[in-house]
A and B are shown apart, each in its own frame.
Chain A
Amino acid sequence: MDKIIQKDLVIIGGGPAGLAAGIAAREAGVEDLVILEREHQAGGILRQCIHNGFGLHRYGEELTGPEYAARDIARAEELGLDIRCDTTVLSVDGDRRVTCVSKADGLTVYQAGAVVLAMGCRERPRGALGTPGTRCAGIYTAGAAQKFVNLEGLMPGKRVVILGSGDIGLIMARRMTLQGAKVLACVELMPFSSGLNRNIVQCLHDYDIPLYLSHTVTDIRGRERLEGVTVMRVGPDRKPIPGTEIEFDCDTLLLSVGLIPENELSQRAGVALTPATSGAVVDDDLQTSVPGVFACGNVLHVHDLVDFVSDESFRAGRAAAAFLRGETPTGETVEVRDGEGVRGTVPQRLRPGRDVTLMFRPAAVYQNASAVVESDGVELARKRALVFTPGEMVALPVKAEKLAGVHAPITVRMEAAKHD
């Protein structure tokens, strides 16, 4: 009774990653493909990101989230891509069998020739922080608040404290202010913000919202609705310092404390993950440990800009198409490792012979420093910058000719400035 539908390519997720992968795969000749999207429309989280700043790299213009998504959707429609909305994928197995459900079609099973994982990421909730206090109403992730405000036209609160300085939190500081709420503070545990500098300037400084670095929320008060939070300074061990308490009377606490690639489906498919990114381990074709299963966008590693998500996902779509044609390169892979001061390098394996761009985040702020790629003591590439921060992902290209003949593991590390 199991009706199994054969598909060359199944793409899970119709956000910017899934759309780009679908477009690239079709352009590379894959006719039989489907994009499965759980929401009512394609576009993913961009749909609720009504601020501008998207597309600077890809289009050289500043688009809003919906505008950016609309361009990919228009292209997908032009190519006649089959995008199934309101469809939730329930499981993927190691044989690339994808089971999904929708109101219109019921339960559907696809046997895919290749799968692209493009499920995006989710926000870390309060529970993951272990913040003590009451479990009252008024505590939201910044993204949930954004959905209420931008998609439902509803205000989640009036007096707001933001914990964490991730980009969505910063954007929501401005958004809530523009809608008449009072944003009292943005509180960041680390001595630096994890958000983009332009967002700190445009969303906090421009509205006189104080940013408390090396601070955190240590208590949450309010029986029914939130009534206030306690903020304390933290030491180098990130533990609160007694005597530094600041009390804020607020009815809303927004959390912007990190994004986690949503890999539950990948995990059950047997895809190997790494704690460094919480995403899949991939090679330079973005192929995971399960043959024919590719990953791209925020489900692979959390990006700063959608432009880079699209770029990566075009590559995943092309690689999936090559896989379907039986043209995926084989041969020995070399491991790529995080060295000193580096976290979450993608890809984690590569086949020497092609140009490759390594992406990673520095583990701390480095000034006037270099990121260095080396293997067996030989430098393969180097990038210098005045500032490296964990908030901005580094893309470091390595030339094919430098990689030729490399067999030993490749290491990416930060090199602090030399003092004369």
Chain B
Amino acid sequence: MRRETEILIIGAGVVGCAMARVLSRYETEILVAERMGDVAEGASKANSGIVHAGFDAKPGTDKARLNVLGAKMYPALCAELNVPYKGNGALVVAFQEEDRATIEKLYDQGQRNGVPGLRIVEREELLRMEPNLNPSAVCALEASTSGIVSPYELVYALADHAALNGVAFAFNKPVTRVERTENGFLVRAGEDEIACRVLVNCAGIGSAEIHNQLHKEEEKLKLIPRRGEYHVLDHPEKAPFERTIFQCPTAMGKGVLVTPTAHGNILLGPTAEDIADGTDVGTTAGGLADALEKARLTWPGVSTRTEVTNFAGIRAHEVKGDFIVGETAPGLWEAVGFESPGLTSAPALAEEMGAAIAASLQLRKKETIAPPYRKAKPFNEMTDDERREAVTADPLNGVLICRCEVVTEAEIRAAIRRPVGARTVDGVKRRCRAGMGRCQGGFCAPRVVEILAEELGLPMTAICKGSGDSYMLTGEI
């Protein structure tokens, strides 16, 4: 199929969807092409979910600037989009006296980057703040503006808001060829040929390949896929740590963290391993053991007894170290090498680059902008009175499908019906948490498949777990 659009965004991760949402405020035509079957299927769904305060990045870099700007935007953005976010603060802990210099360096760097709310905390106070911390801790940098967010839920909300304002999404469209034309670009995406005036490259781990097709040899970029493996533990009655606990950073990144998630689970990881294949998100015995061992330094009492799952994500590390952002060639706007703090930086980059693209195309602002889609308050978080009302309003809230995470049939149907709705079992899981709990869908997956089939008008055998040919069932009896 041949399609035309004024703006083509490649990649429906957090950057692509944030860009789409910002640009949807203007009178223009926007298409987002995504290689996978849903939004947030790459690094955006598989990361630590931390809104970094901004002390890690070298002063003067785009990483430092966008991180600090982005972190400031998060509380209001998540409130507007109704996305789980918590300003829980973070600690970077020195576990030996030699690391004190690193803590002080990070403090200075943070000051230079303009990060508010930083201070160095000594051992005694530190152990009072976080009693489960390894008592061998010496001191720590406290970053009170650090936060936790549900990263994929942010992307869903950004995508929904963009869609409500006219952005089109095309899934299962891997971009294989990009070329410049007289008026812009011609992009081969899946079976489609898409002509556009402006091309926005937010293709994550695939972004260098697109960049390189449109640049001369000396301007070519190289991304190293850096895999990080994580353990996810069930949400305990009482969180072992209130804050996100980092260890001192290494050459490979911020090291292994221990953190509560925005949903109250406990996350241990990530490891950092450079690999050849940027799509290989399998976990390894070695990586998982390494993540656990390193987490033990922070949390001597760590145990995987309540582990619900493990996963790996790929960071797109550009060899020179900084983000590559902005208009790198006429009409080509890019976000390449958007590794950590990419999630934090994405909203700031989108505002900045969105405004620049609008200016370059002389786009007019729309007179009215549709408000965001607001997901209803999760049944699991309601009071009894709210639940009573919810069931009265929609009796399907009286049908519990996922017992571990307390998710109702109404919520599952809403996850499928929202503007950029779930089409797969994993899409349902990440949108409303059915199957996210300790039984990992053992009880609810068959029901979720049934509801998906019903909502989408498909036979149950056509329902997939996630992207591609990930069919759940092989046939009827």
By a beta-carbon cutoff of 8 Å, the part of chain A in contact with chain B is: 1-2, 38, 86, 88, 90, 99, 101-107, 109, 122-123, 125-128, 130, 132-137, 140-141, 143-144, 147-149, 151-158, 179, 218-221, 223-225, 240, 251, 262, 264, 267
Contact = CB atoms under 8 A, between A and B. Distances in A.
A225 B471 contact: yes
Contact of A224 (B288, B397, B398, B470): B470
Contact of B465 (A128, A137, A154): A137
Given A144-B446, A148-B446, A156-B473, A103 B310 contact: no
A107 B387 contact: yes
Interface in B377-433: 384-385, 387-388, 391-392, 395-400, 403-404, 406
Contact of B476 (A130, A141, A153, A219): A153
A64 B101 CA distance: 70
A154 B460 contact: yes
A155 to B, nearest CB: 5
A133 B312 CA distance: 9
Size band of the interface chain B makes with A: 35 or more
5 contacts: A107-B398, A143-B442, A144-B445, A154-B461, A224-B469
A179 B473 CA distance: 14
A101 B283 contact: no
Contact of B443 (A109, A144, A224, A240): A144
Interface centre among B304, B308, B472 (most CB of A within 10 A): B472
Contacts of A225: 469-471
Contacts of B284: 132
Contacts of A156: 472-474
Contacts of A143: 442
Given A132-B288, A154-B477, A127 B232 contact: yes
Contacts of B5: none
Contacts of B403: 38, 88, 262
B342 interface: no
A151 B65 CA distance: 57
B282 interface: yes
Contacts of A151: 446
Contacts of A123: 439, 442
Interface centre among B281, B308, B443, B445 (most CB of A within 10 A): B443
B282 A134 contact: yes
Nearest to A91: B384
Contact of A144 (B308, B442, B460, B471): B442
B285 interface: yes
Contacts of B469: 224-225
B465 A136 contact: yes
B468 interface: yes
B282 A155 contact: no
A219 B471 CA distance: 20
Given A106-B398, A109-B384, A147-B446, 9 more contacts: A106-B391, A125-B439, A132-B284, A134-B281, A135-B281, A140-B445, A154-B475, A219-B285, A225-B471
A146 B123 CA distance: 54
Contact of A152 (B438, B440, B460): B460
B474 A155 contact: yes
Nearest to B444: A144
Nearest to A220: B282
Contacts of A157: 474
B440 A126 contact: yes
Contacts of B241: none
A218 B443 contact: no
Contacts of B304: 130
B473 A90 contact: no
B474 A107 contact: no
Nearest to A156: B473
Contacts of B467: 224
A284 B381 CA distance: 38
Given A125-B442, A127-B309, A155 B471 contact: no
B341 interface: no
Closest 8 CB pairs of A and B: A127-B309, A137-B465, A125-B440, A88-B400, A137-B470, A103-B398, A224-B470, A224-B468
A103 B396 contact: yes
Contact of A130 (B231, B395, B465, B468): B231
Nearest to A265: B403
Contacts of B460: 152, 154
Contacts of A147: 446
Contacts of A179: 477
Nearest to B475: A155
Contacts of B331: none
B466 interface: yes
A224 B466 CA distance: 7
B171 interface: no
A264 B400 CA distance: 15
A104 B284 CA distance: 47
Nearest to A275: B305
B172 to A, nearest CB: 12
A157 B388 CA distance: 41
A133 B283 contact: yes
B305 to A, nearest CB: 8
Contacts of B476: 153-155
Contacts of B245: none
B464 interface: yes
Given A125-B439, A223-B279, A224-B470, A132 B310 contact: yes
A119 B64 CA distance: 52
Contacts of A264: 404
B354 interface: no
Contact of B473 (A141, A155, A240): A155
Contact of B470 (A1, A136, A141, A218): A136
A137 B309 contact: no
B287 interface: yes
B441 interface: yes
B307 interface: yes
B440 A127 contact: yes
Contacts of B311: 135
Given A99-B384, A224-B469, A141 B442 contact: yes
Interface centre among A123, A125, A218, A240 (most CB of B within 10 A): A125
Contact of A153 (B385, B441, B465, B477): B477
Contact of B474 (A2, A122, A158, A240): A158
A223 B278 CA distance: 13
Given A90-B406, A155-B473, A102 B466 contact: no
A1 B383 CA distance: 14
Interface centre among B385, B397, B446 (most CB of A within 10 A): B446
A106 B392 contact: yes
Contact of A154 (B308, B391, B468, B473): B473
Nearest to B286: A132
Contacts of A224: 464, 466-470
A189 B311 CA distance: 23
B175 to A, nearest CB: 19
Contacts of A137: 464-466, 470-472
A101 B400 contact: yes
Nearest to A180: B477
A111 B443 CA distance: 29
Contact of A133 (B282, B398, B477): B282
Given A104-B398, A154-B461, A132 B283 contact: yes
